[in-house]
Structure 1
Amino acid sequence: MEETQLTGRIVTPNDPEYEQARINNNLSVARFPKIIVFCQNTQDVVNALTWVRKKRMPFRVRSGRHSYENFSLVNGGLIIDVSEMNSIKVDRNAMTAKIEAGAALGKVYRQLWKHGATIPAGTEGSVGLVGLTLGGGIGMLTRIFGLTCDNLLEVEMVVASGPTETKQVTASKSSNSDLFWACCGGGGGNFGIVTSLTFKLHPIQNVSIFSITWGWDDFEEAYTAWQTWAPSTDTRLTSEIELFAKDVDRITAQGEFVGSVATLKKLLKPLTSTGSPKSISIKEVTYIEAVRFFDEPSGNEPANRKRSGSFITAPLPLEAILTMKQWLAHAPNEHASLWHQSLGGAAAQIRPEETAYFYRDAIIAQEYLTKWNNPGEERQNVRWIRNVRQALSPYTTGDYVNWPDRFIRNWPKAYYGENFPRLREVKTAYDPTNLFRFPQSIPPYRRRG
C-alpha cells in the first residue's frame, strides 16, 4: 500500500517564508515547528492527519493564529494550518452561509455584507472564525442574535478513526448531535479538524454606534453606571467598556445598536449623564462601517502579549471596582487594560447545558490584557495579569475558553463549568486515543477492559 504523502503548501525551516509562517499573534510564546502544511482542501487535511499518525509526530491545528497561549503551535512537530481554506458560499434564499474553516472574521463580514447579511461574531478582523465559534463567540451583536455558536447549523470535521485512519464527519442537531453540542463552546482543537461551518444569517443594513470617554477621575462612577445598565438595556444594544492604565487617563465605553440614533440617545442617558464625559459620539453608519469601527488594529498585529479573563454574574461591588482601579494605577505600562463586554439578551435565553458554552448566566465577560516591547519586561507583565485575576477572583467566576491562560490551575471547571464531564464523554467517543491534545485540551475517559 502506497504511503500517504503531505499535500498542500508545505513550509519548512529552510524556506524563506518560514519565519512568517511559524509566528502567531502572541510573540512571547515562541515555538519552532518542523513542518507547516497550509491545507488547500479537505484532502490535504486528511493527508496531513494520516501522515502525522503514521509518523507518530506531534502536531497542532491552526487557523487564525490567535491562540493566546500559542496552543496551535508545537516545537519540532507539524502544524496543520487551514487558513488558506477560506471560501464562503451564501444561500440568500435559505439565509445560510457555508464558510470554510480558514476564513478570518474580516473576510466573513465583508462577503456577507455584499448580501446584506451577517452573523454575530467578534471584532478583530484577523481572528479565525472557526476558533472563535468553537469557543462560543462573543461580539457586538451578542445580545440581539446570541453567540456565534448559537447561529451554527452544521460542522464538517476530519476525525481520527481506527489506529491510523481518518474520516470525515458532519455534525448538526440531527447528525452526530453530541459532537455538534461539543462544537458549540467546547473549544478548538479538541475533537478533530473542522473544515467548514454552516451558519444561519441575519439581514442587516444600517446600525447606530456610540463612543463615550471619561477621564481617570470618573473611574468608579463611569464603571458603575455602565455595569448596572449594559446587561439589562434594550437587547438590540451590545456594548463594551475598557478601563485603561492610570497614565492613559481614559475610560471608553462603546457599543452597537440595531436601531435608530434617536432611540440610542435615549437608551444612553444613564451613561451620558454620568460624570464629566470628555467626548460623546453617537451616529448611524452602515453595518460594515461599524465592523471597521470596532476592529482594533493593534489586536491584529503580532506582539508580546499576556491575556486572561473571567465572567461576572452580578454587578461588582465598590471594593471590586476600587481593586481594578488600584491595579490599573500600578500597571506595568500604558498597554495594560481591563476590558468588559455586556452579555445577557439572546445569549442568556439558552440553558447552560444546551451547549458546551456554560456561562449563560454571566452578565459581563471581563478580559485582562497587557503587551510589551522589551523581552525583559515579560515577567512583570505576566505577574500583573496573574495578580489582577487573583485579586478579582472573589467577585468573578470561570474564564472564557477563547481567552486561555496556562496559569489557571483548575482550567476544566474555569472554561467549561458543569459541562466538562459531558465534554469528556464526547472526546472519548470521537478521539478515544487522545490524538488531538495540547496543554489544557479535554482528555478522554480511560476505557476499562
Structure 2
Amino acid sequence: MANTELTGRIVTPDDPDYEQARINNNLSIPKFPSKIVFCQKTKDVLNALRWVRENNEPFRIRSGRHSYENFSLINDGLIIDVSEMNKIKIDQEAMTAKIAAGADLGKVYKKLWKYGLTIPAGTEGSVGIVGLTLGGGIGMLSRPFGLTCDNLIEIEMVRADGHKGAELIKANKNENSDLFWACRGGGGGNFGIVTFLTFKLHAISNVSLFSVSWKWEDLEVAFDAWQNWAPHTDEKLTSQIELKSKEAGEIISQGIFVGSTSKLRKLLKPITTAGSPTNVWVKEVPYIEAVRFFDVPSGNRPALRKRSGSFIEKPFPHKAINQMKHLLANAPNKNSSIWHQSLGGAVGKIDSYDTAYFYRNAIIAQEYLTTWENPEEEKQNIRWVEEIRNTLSPFTDGDYVNFPDLYIKNWPITYYGNNFRRLREVKTKYDAFNVFNFPQSIPPYKRWI
C-alpha cells in the first residue's frame, strides 16, 4: 500500500504559477504534467521517486529545462525538478567544488569566479550543470581543460531500489566505478536522479577574446580556413564559427584564449587573412566577462525551436561546404544557422572507451539551429534541419547526446558509438526495471514486467 508523501514545493495545474513551472526552453513540444515537484533537498528526491513507484505514476527528471526534445517533460505525469537544489560548496585547498544538481551555469560561473576558479562548461547561463555534464559538456574551455565530464570527480545519485524503493548512492573511480564511467557522457536521465556533483577546479584570471566576421560571400573560404586551423592551433585556444542564413548575411568566428592578446593575434593569422573580414577585434578581459559575452540571451529564452547536430572527424571537402551554403541560402528564416565548435586538445587526449563520451577523435562539434514565430512554420523548419543532417551525413559522424533529435533512427549508435553495449550493461545493473525511461533512453538488457 502506498505510504510515501511528496515533499518539496509542489505545483499542480490549479496553481497560478503552473504555466511558468511547466514550460521548457523548447516551446514547440508542449507537455502538461499533472504535478511538478520542486525538490529542495535529497530527501525530497527520494520521496518523489518512492511516490511515483508506489503509485505507478509516469515521471520525468528535470533540471535546467534545456532538453531539446523535451524529454524532461511528460503529459499527465509527475516532474521531479531539482532546479531549486543549487548550493555550491568550494574547497580551495583541494581545488574542488561540490555542486547541487539544480545549479545552472550562470550561478556556477559567478560563484567560482569569486575565488578565481572555474570548470570547463557550456555558454548558455540557464543550462543546468547536471544535464550538461552527464552528456559530456562542450564549451569555450574544452581544448585546454577537457569536457565538463572529464573534470567530474564524484556524483551522488538517487536510484531505483527493489520493486518500489529508492536509495542514495555515490559513484566515483573507486565506488560504483561502472556507473561513474556511464555518467561521463552517457546522457541525463538514464540511470537515476543525480543530486550532487563534485568537480576538480581550474585557476582562471584574465583571458583574451577574439571576434572575426565576414560577409556571406566569404562563407566557403572563411569556413575552410577555420576548420583547418581551429582544432589544431594552440590548445589554450577554443573557438566557434557560426554560418548564418543568407538573409542574416554574416559569418562569425569567436573564441577564448587562455593567454595574451599579442600571442592571440599571431595565432589568428590563418583566419584573419582568409577572405575579406569585415570586423576583427581582440581584447583581454576578466574571465567572467568572457562568460557574459558568450551567454547569448536568445539561447536562454523559451522559443519555438529545433536543433540537431553531428561530429566532424576530418575537414569538410569543398562539396560539403558548398552544400552548407546552399542550405543556408534556402533557410526557412533569418534565425537559422549552422554552428561549429573546435575540439581536439585535452578532449582528444582521453580514449574513446575511458568514458561514455565516445567521439574523442572528433575535431569539430556541429549544431543545426532554427527558431520560428508561428506554429504553422514548424514543419518547414524541422524539414530544413533534417535536410542538413541527411545532406551532410556522408561527411559527419554521430551526434552529441546533448543535441538529441527524435528523427534520428539509429540513435543508440549515433549518440554512443561502440560504447552503447557497455552502457546497456550499466543500465541493467543499476536500473533493471527500466524505471528511468523516455523516448531515447538507454534500455536494460532484460525486459522486466
TM range (shorter): over 0.9
1:289 Cα offset (Å): 0.3
Q: What are the residue-to-residue correspondences of 1:94-243 with 2, within 5 Å?
A: 94-243=94-243
The DSSP-based 3-state class of the residue aligned with 1:326 is helix
Quick one: distance in 1 between partners of 2:15 and 2:448?
46
* 1:172-219 CA distance string (max 9 Å, x none): 001000000000000000000000000000000000010010001101
Is the contact between residue 433 and residue 448 of structure 2 (CA under 8 Å) also seen in structure 1? no
Matched letter for residue 428 of structure 2 = T
Quick one: distance in 2 between partners of 1:245 and 1:2?
55
Query: What's the counterpart of residue 54 of structure 1?
Result: 54
The DSSP-based 3-state class of the residue aligned with 1:293 is helix
Query: What's the counterpart of residue 267 of structure 1?
Result: 267
Identity of aligned residues (%): 68
Number of residue pairs matched by the alignment: 449
Quick one: distance in 1 between partners of 2:251 and 2:90?
39
Query: What's the counterpart of residue 336 of structure 1?
Result: 336
1:247 Cα offset (Å): 1.0
Matched letter for residue 20 of structure 1 = Q
Quick one: distance in 2 between partners of 1:219 and 1:240?
14
Query: What's the counterpart of residue 14 of structure 1?
Result: 14
RMSD after superposition: 1.0
Is the contact between residue 225 and residue 271 of structure 2 (CA under 8 Å) also seen in structure 1? yes
Matched letter for residue 336 of structure 2 = A
Quick one: distance in 1 between partners of 2:223 and 2:378?
29
Change (3 A) 1:74 1:448: closer
Q: What are the residue-to-residue correspondences of 1:371-386 with 2, within 5 Å?
A: 371-386=371-386
1:2 Cα offset (Å): 7.8
Quick one: distance in 1 between partners of 2:448 and 2:110?
50
Matched letter for residue 146 of structure 1 = G
Quick one: distance in 2 between partners of 1:316 and 1:8?
50
Quick one: distance in 2 between partners of 1:448 and 1:408?
26
Quick one: distance in 1 between partners of 2:37 and 2:267?
50
Quick one: distance in 1 between partners of 2:281 and 2:373?
32
Query: What's the counterpart of residue 248 of structure 2?
Result: 248
Runs of 4 or more above 4 Å deviation: none
Quick one: distance in 1 between partners of 2:296 and 2:389?
23
Quick one: distance in 1 between partners of 2:87 and 2:446?
38
User: Which blocks of at least 5 consecutive residues in structure 1 are unaligned?
Assistant: none
Quick one: distance in 1 between partners of 2:69 and 2:203?
35
Query: What's the counterpart of residue 23 of structure 1?
Result: 23
The normalised TM-score by structure 2 is: 0.99
Quick one: distance in 2 between partners of 1:281 and 1:333?
28
Quick one: distance in 2 between partners of 1:249 and 1:427?
46
The DSSP-based 3-state class of the residue aligned with 1:46 is helix
Quick one: distance in 1 between partners of 2:219 and 2:402?
28
Quick one: distance in 1 between partners of 2:277 and 2:364?
23
Quick one: distance in 2 between partners of 1:309 and 1:173?
31
Matched letter for residue 310 of structure 1 = S
User: Which blocks of at least 5 consecutive residues in structure 2 are unaligned?
Assistant: none
Q: What are the residue-to-residue correspondences of 1:283-432 with 2, within 5 Å?
A: 283-432=283-432
* 1:406-428 CA distance string (max 9 Å, x none): 00000000000000000000000
The DSSP-based 3-state class of the residue aligned with 2:253 is strand
1:251 Cα offset (Å): 0.1
Is the contact between residue 82 and residue 101 of structure 2 (CA under 8 Å) also seen in structure 1? yes
Change (3 A) 1:414 1:2: closer
Q: What are the residue-to-residue correspondences of 1:12-91 with 2, within 5 Å?
A: 12-91=12-91
1:318 Cα offset (Å): 0.1
* 1:155-176 CA distance string (max 9 Å, x none): 0000011110110000000100
Quick one: distance in 2 between partners of 1:4 and 1:162?
15
Quick one: distance in 1 between partners of 2:209 and 2:226?
16
The DSSP-based 3-state class of the residue aligned with 1:341 is strand
Quick one: distance in 1 between partners of 2:299 and 2:2?
45
Matched letter for residue 285 of structure 2 = V
Quick one: distance in 2 between partners of 1:296 and 1:310?
22
Quick one: distance in 1 between partners of 2:264 and 2:143?
15
The normalised TM-score by structure 1 is: 0.99
The DSSP-based 3-state class of the residue aligned with 1:166 is strand
Quick one: distance in 1 between partners of 2:447 and 2:43?
31
Change (3 A) 1:154 1:13: same
The DSSP-based 3-state class of the residue aligned with 1:133 is helix
Quick one: distance in 2 between partners of 1:262 and 1:350?
31
Quick one: distance in 2 between partners of 1:436 and 1:124?
27
